[in-house]
Structure 1
Amino acid sequence: MAQQYFDLDTLKFLLYQVHNVQEVLNQTKYSDHDVASIDLFLNSVKDFSDKELYPYFKEMDENPAHFKDGEIIVHPQVNKYMKAAGEMGLLAGNFSYDDGGLQLPAIVNNASTFIQEAANNHLPGYIGLTVGAAELITHFGNKMLNETYVSKMLDGTWGGTMCLTEPQAGSSLSDIITSATPDGDTYKIHGQKIFISGGDYKGAENIVHLVLARIKGAPAGTKGISLFVVPKNRPNADGSLISNNVQTVTDFEKMGQKGYCTTHLFFGDKENCQGWLVGEPNQGLKYMFLMMNGARIAVGRGATAIATAAYHASLQYANERAQGRKLSSNGKKDAEQEQTLIINHPDVRRMLLLQKVIAEGSLSLVLLTSKYHDFSNSLSDENEREKYRLLLEILTPIVKTYPSEMGKLGVDNGVQVLGGYGFCSDYILQQYLRDIRISAIYEGTTGIQSQDLLGRKITMDNGKALQLLSEEIVKTIKVCSSYESLAPNAQKLGLKLELAQQVIQSLMAYAMKGDYERFLADASPFMEFFSTILLGWLWLDMGKEAQEALNDGNQEYSSAFYESKLHSMRFFFKYELPKTSGLAEILMDKESLTIGSDNKVFQ
């Protein structure tokens, strides 16, 4: 039986019915696209992923990227994929027509990339970093930079990266020391960057690095950071390429995503590395962070894809593996009976349903956040654009974190479904568990995202973003209260929304007194608390669409399909949402146990 790594019907249900992509397509910016053309596009991406991504997934883990003779050796499929993705327009998808793109909405582009990542999470990162680097150039670079680099990046000829982290400066970007010395119309770049995804590999004609560095004499801290285009090979006037003194030092050997190279780069060891300033001096971090919403959505999307693929792998195993017998009415097992499939055991079903609600809820979150991104860029009414910008801001740390943290839990349960086989390399679950672990670290750790949510997004514009999000949730609660099958869960969610207000008021008391360390000390438990309530809303919304489809006799999908969504919603409300009560107790407890410098507590 062929392995299914995601369910296309679920993706389309969320895209077309739950999140109504037509509302996005109604905007002038995206009016050249329609549901029929998007359907064809997603089907073609699925076919492409079946043939060119999924078959190489396990192989890329077993034959990882590695450093040899000054170069990084990657699987041959990497270069093939870059070229094919360029030809299909997968890199150019969300770029404007003026930049040579397809001008697809982010919600469609993320649906497409989700399919690819579910098939093989090692490959799409190569085009993802290239897209991110090209976006920075199109948004902030001058005409020369756009004409020189963008077209070759979007057709997959050249790769791209974003270079932030340095050996002495991990998440603390204010400590960056890579230097940029004026040299005529360019700058001489000198310094090191580490953990650069897709940073270099054999067979790549060129890699275009977007590098954060300090111009000599710039202010200290984040205010003195500028952004530069620094290609591995710089183009001559005749179009030929010469080395730009960007040296690959090594490739980091990782526990997962082994086919996706992660490099250590040295710029200018021979003092001959040229960089071109992007935009204005000392604005580099501002430019980079304008792209971070997309990058953080991408991390959450990738984690969602891995969790989804792991769910389908463990579901298939549970439908094929016979072991044990069901209990009879007297509470005993009849040894004369044939063994039953493990999917018939209640605890296995619980683990599978947990995987399902995490994966499908996360996908709904990714698509909703993408829709808000589209609205914030395309609506004609300025006030409406601002509304969706604020909604996007408050969801961004959540869309990065919930799929990463809970997806990890979901995959771990998938390993448990397989029992001893889940721990063996002959089965794919252990690879998914290793692959997803990095997601909670990429683009800012869970702790950083949690502090962003509580310290910035909850409080921004005097709580305006939180107010707007609460209004959206209340709308769904009111509609669902009129359905007999949904009303009990709508009531539960309403009570949890009130609980969230109590928790936030309790924590804000510390901020009002200026005790910000105490205010943010439990930001990570708050992230879990708030995210779980948010996912309750998304599952209630999915339940609403499923119930309405059943009531209307909608035959787009089977009755069993819609019933499965309602069952999953009820599972989330029984097994996941109640956990917020315990988290609220933690968050409102006055005792402080993690603040202080007395390390005797660790003895």
Structure 2
Amino acid sequence: MANYIDLETLKYLLNEVHNLDEVLKQDRFADHDAESLDLFLDSVKEFSDRELFPYFKEMDEKPAYHDEGTVMVHEQVDVMMKKGGEMGLIAGPFDYDDGGMQLPLMIQTASTYIQETANNHLPGYTGLTYGAAELIVHFANKELNEAYVPKMLSGEWGGTMCLTEPQAGSSLSDVVTKATPTDDGYYKITGQKIFISGGDHQYAENIVHLVLARIEGAPAGTKGISLFIVPKNRPTEDGLIFNDVTTVADFQKMGQRGYCTTHLGFGDADDCRGWLVGEPHQGLKYMFLMMNGARIAVGRGAAAISMAAYQASLQYAKERPQGRKLTSSGKKNLDEGQTLIINHPDVRRMLLLQKVIAEGSLSLVLLASKYYDLKYTASDPAEKEKYGLLLELVIPMVKTYPSEKGAEAVSNGLQVLGGYGFCTDFILQQYYRDIRIFPIYEGTTGIQSQDLLGRKLLMENGKALELLTTEVMQTIKEASKFDDLRSYANILGEKLQLAQKVIGFLVGFAKKGDYERFLSDATPFMEFFSNITIGWLWLDMATHAKNALVIGNNAHSQDFYESKIHAMKFYFKYEIPKTTSLAEILTNEEVLTIAGEKEILN
């Protein structure tokens, strides 16, 4: 059996820690139960064993490439799109009326996580198709829905989101792609988009691009951006006609080489047609309403890679003999045979670091998915508001922690393998290259950090922070019931107080109108606050495990539950103390990164 995922931990987090049943009680999910969804996830695992994992290394060695106006990709992309469509891997969360299965996002997240642990190059093709179709369903008219969505959900057609331009990276106010209205109900589209994932390949009859563009005469900045459906080939009564969307190039990348990234040109022959989605000048609003899901997806992908890398490192450590254990005298007994490297304390430390980052990241991703489900399905308006605020607060961390710490975890995995980790014969170097893009996807770490500190902590006069603090305090209360968890609960309580001190210090600059100083250390703050948040999730995991041991829950083995408690203790010894030094940085009065009259970077 392919060894790339800990499916038992995934199901433990879904069902025992994050209580999937609470989501399944909502009316929208009345047709689903935990048992049938468990079988669905098993079928996804079987599909991933068969169609995804065996091609992971090969897709890196034979990357996507541009050839005479078309991007050529691995043949498994065809399998992913078509089989994924048949299995509902694209349509899962959509309404029944739209051809979906009305799955909770928690389950869609778990399903895609399994696929990404197997092969993080392939699910992007279906995932972006899902995201583009979601925009059409939510904001486009009935005619456009009928023309595009069914073939996208079936996997016959692909989909993308086109934001970035050569002169406008994260600064979307500088978008210049132009939309010129006509008398025939469509717009003429001209411009270029870069870094478009899944932007073209030979296995899709059509690619449906969701394009941000500026209608002539629109207001400057982000307020003047509209959203358009711009297919590669436009549907007509006589079939598909080329829509003047040109694939200029495919970017050759350090990692995720089987997941194509394209440069697209629109309207080179003045015959590129686009159809307005929703109202004019609302494009960025529409796109960002879907962005929470996109950022959960980035965190999920990074969490999946860190888990797959951990499994590969763990397997190697259990098989590789190297050196000997120290005797009580502090010397090695050369008469003894070599020991497996998993018995060396430093190797165990690196493996445990991988474990707590990978599993902590997964817990955070599933928590955000649960908040998302309850925000959109809870019947009580107060509950909707609560989960909406919690979702907004955790989203920057969901995108950032698995990406940044995941890269650190995979680096430790490479170190476990020693020199072999640096060689292409072993898979760790590929995971290391693949995960590096995740801190950049969907808004860089710096952007997410400014969003967390500058917007999310302060929104609704800090109400979201109050709600999250209440959640953490509830876990502290539950953990304190157990003698051997109480000291960790106390540590987390102290860290909450430290967070209040740091936030109070930084907000003081905002109150004085010194926003540059307020946000200048947003990235260290992201690390600080995420560290505490993951500490909360680990204490919560350990509390559920301890409770299961006390009541004799046999859903998992005693060793399984004890391993979660041990991992929590490791996190609190090796990771939580880092918040002290980060707090020192954040409350230091000295300013060293704000540009002054004299340039010191030379």
Task: Note the 1:164-563 alignment, pairs <5 A.
Answer: 164-184=163-183, 185-238=185-238, 240-563=239-562
Does the 8 A contact of 1:3 with 1:313 survive in 2? no
SS at match of 1:439: coil
Do residues 97 (structure 1) and 111 (structure 2) align?
A: no
The structural deviation recorded for 1:498 is: 0.3
What letter matches 1:14 in structure 2?
Answer: L
**Superimposed CA distance per residue, residues 524-548 of structure 1 (whole angstroms, 9 cap, x where no aligned partner):** 0000000000000000000011001
Paired residue for 2:126? Answer: 127
**Superimposed CA distance per residue, residues 104-137 of structure 1 (whole angstroms, 9 cap, x where no aligned partner):** 0001110000000000000000011100000000
- TM-score, normalised with respect to structure 2: 0.99
Cα distance in 1 for partners of 2:530, 2:320 equals 34
What letter matches 2:45 in structure 1?
Answer: K
Cα distance in 1 for partners of 2:216, 2:352 equals 56
The structural deviation recorded for 1:317 is: 0.2
Does the 8 A contact of 2:187 with 2:275 survive in 1? yes
Paired residue for 1:6? Answer: 5
Cα distance in 2 for partners of 1:409, 1:601 equals 30
Does the 8 A contact of 1:234 with 1:244 survive in 2? yes
CA separation of 1:433 and 1:599: change in aligned 2, threshold 3 A: farther
Does the 8 A contact of 1:257 with 1:435 survive in 2? yes
Cα distance in 2 for partners of 1:207, 1:142 equals 19
Does the 8 A contact of 1:63 with 1:75 survive in 2? yes
Between the aligned residues of both structures, percent identity stands at 69
**Superimposed CA distance per residue, residues 22-43 of structure 1 (whole angstroms, 9 cap, x where no aligned partner):** 0000000111100011011000
SS at match of 1:139: helix
Does the 8 A contact of 2:77 with 2:203 survive in 1? no
**Superimposed CA distance per residue, residues 85-116 of structure 1 (whole angstroms, 9 cap, x where no aligned partner):** 00001000111112110000001110000000
Does the 8 A contact of 1:300 with 1:366 survive in 2? yes
The structural deviation recorded for 1:335 is: 1.2
**Superimposed CA distance per residue, residues 529-584 of structure 1 (whole angstroms, 9 cap, x where no aligned partner):** 00000000000000011001111111111100001000000000000000000000
What letter matches 2:364 in structure 1?
Answer: L
Cα distance in 2 for partners of 1:237, 1:172 equals 39
Paired residue for 2:47? Answer: 48
The structural deviation recorded for 1:203 is: 2.3
Paired residue for 1:22? Answer: 21
Does the 8 A contact of 1:304 with 1:407 survive in 2? yes
Kindly tell me the number of residue pairs found equivalent between the two proteins. 601
Does the 8 A contact of 2:313 with 2:416 survive in 1? yes
Does the 8 A contact of 2:2 with 2:49 survive in 1? no
SS at match of 2:3: coil
Cα distance in 1 for partners of 2:47, 2:10 equals 17
Do residues 574 (structure 1) and 576 (structure 2) align?
A: no
CA separation of 1:250 and 1:278: change in aligned 2, threshold 3 A: same
Cα distance in 2 for partners of 1:490, 1:117 equals 34
Does the 8 A contact of 2:37 with 2:107 survive in 1? yes
Does the 8 A contact of 2:397 with 2:530 survive in 1? yes
Paired residue for 1:595? Answer: 594
Aligned alpha-carbon RMSD (Å): 0.7
Cα distance in 2 for partners of 1:81, 1:279 equals 31
What letter matches 1:413 in structure 2?
Answer: N
Paired residue for 1:38? Answer: 37
Does the 8 A contact of 1:180 with 1:215 survive in 2? yes
The structural deviation recorded for 1:3 is: 4.4
Paired residue for 2:106? Answer: 107
Does the 8 A contact of 1:179 with 1:214 survive in 2? yes
**Superimposed CA distance per residue, residues 450-482 of structure 1 (whole angstroms, 9 cap, x where no aligned partner):** 000000000000000000000000011011111
**Superimposed CA distance per residue, residues 408-465 of structure 1 (whole angstroms, 9 cap, x where no aligned partner):** 0000000000000000000000000000000000000000000000000000000000
Cα distance in 2 for partners of 1:76, 1:27 equals 40
**Superimposed CA distance per residue, residues 110-165 of structure 1 (whole angstroms, 9 cap, x where no aligned partner):** 00000000000000000111000000000000011100000000000000000000
What letter matches 1:198 in structure 2?
Answer: G
What are structure 2's unaligned runs of at least 5 residues?
Answer: none
**Superimposed CA distance per residue, residues 194-227 of structure 1 (whole angstroms, 9 cap, x where no aligned partner):** 0000000112100000000000000010000000
What letter matches 1:82 in structure 2?
Answer: M
